[in-house]
Amino acid sequence: MRLFTSRSSLVGQTVALCAILFALLAPAVAQQPTKIPRVGVLRPGTPGDLTEDSFRQGLRELGYLEGENIVVEYRYAEGRLDRLPELAAEMVRLKPDVIVVGSTRFAEAAKQATRTIPIVVIGGDVVGAGLVSSLAHPGGNVTGLTAISPDLSGKRLALLLDVLPKLSRVGVIWYPGRDEDELKQTQIAGRALGIAIQSIEVRAVKDFDSAYSAMTKERANGVIVIQGGFTLFHEKSLYTLQRKTSCHQYASSQLGRRMAAS
């Protein structure tokens, strides 16, 4: 099975993220040249994924070295969404200059905890989640990167078409709560390209087997996994299943990179 990443690239996304951080940290450093900036990072999964490594690399490329001229505080929900408010409040108490969050749900929790500390969101539908007024004029203390658009959804399907010219049906695995907009945009792109989109909602790990069984039954010859805290946290289970199927899979961000490298 061949696998592709769904964002522009993990490296490109990280460079953009670090550039945003640099812009947000610069005024504080200029006002207090001896101050060591502090960045808080809230992640829905566990320590040690590829995004974290790329984030550190991006900081180094901008001249920031952890423990020397920057402090980075990490907190992980380990797949437990009920912990998001608690971890966000804990992070705010540490008084970082900027908070980086790995999901729109974490961004919501962080925004509830502070209206003054800048919050940088990696991906997700920040407009649909009500975190910003618009992409052009976000307002408030939330900014970051978004990856929800008809153009990107079309590009994902187009990449699958490059591999499978006879592609006719694609299953889309998604988690309810924040993935609905990306699913909708993928359906719009599918209609434009003449590709049937099979919606596969998953709420727990036990749903993965039935998800792939449903796609096999309907003869889907491609799969898109929408990135989120849930699918990222359970990437090993998804990886095990994708090895057993014959569908060409297009996963998202670091999940796709890990699978592709294995």
Q: What CATH number has the domain bearing residue 19?
A: 3.40.50.2300
Task: Report the pLDDT averaged over residues 159-170.
Answer: 83
Residues 254 and 175 in one domain: yes
Select from 180, 88, 178 the least CA-distant residue to 141: 88
Each residue's pLDDT tens digit, 141-151? 888 766 555 56
Task: Report the pLDDT averaged over residues 151-164.
Answer: 76
Select from 150, 181, 157 the least CA-distant residue to 248: 157
Each residue's pLDDT tens digit, 193-234? 899 999 999 988 888 888 888 888 888 888 888 876 677 667
Domain assignment of residue 223, yes or no: yes
Number of domains in the chain: 2
Residue 47 to residue 184: CA distance in whole angstroms: 31
104: domain range? 7-145
- Tell me what pLDDT residue 88 has: 95
Residues 112 and 127 in one domain: yes
Residues 79 and 32 in one domain: yes
Domain assignment of residue 23, yes or no: yes
Residues 109 and 181 in one domain: no
Select from 145, 171, 146 the least CA-distant residue to 157: 171
% helix / strand / coil in the chain, to the nearest 5?
A: 45, 20, 35
Task: Report the pLDDT averaged over residues 47-70.
Answer: 80
Residue 81 to residue 58: CA distance in whole angstroms: 28
Residues 195 and 161 in one domain: yes
Residues 14 and 139 in one domain: yes
* Burial class of 8 by CB neighbour count within 10 A (0 to 12, 13 to 18, 19+): middle
Residues 196 and 136 in one domain: no
Residues 191 and 137 in one domain: no
Burial string for 136-168 (b: 16+ CB within 10 Å, else e) reads: eebeebbbbbbbbeeebbbebbebbbeeeeebe
* 154 contacts 190 by C-beta, under 8 angstroms: no
Residues 140 and 162 in one domain: no
User: Is pLDDT larger for residue 88 or for residue 78?
Assistant: 88
Domain assignment of residue 1, yes or no: no
- Tell me what pLDDT residue 5 has: 33
User: Is pLDDT larger for residue 54 or for residue 253?
Assistant: 54
Residues 132 and 205 in one domain: no
Least confident of 37-46, 159-168, 178-187, 240-249: 240-249
Residues 14 and 129 in one domain: yes
User: Is pLDDT larger for residue 51 or for residue 107?
Assistant: 107
**DSSP β-ladder status, 71-76 and 3-4:** unpaired
- Tell me what pLDDT residue 247 has: 53
Domain assignment of residue 2, yes or no: no
Q: What is the pTM of this model?
A: 0.61
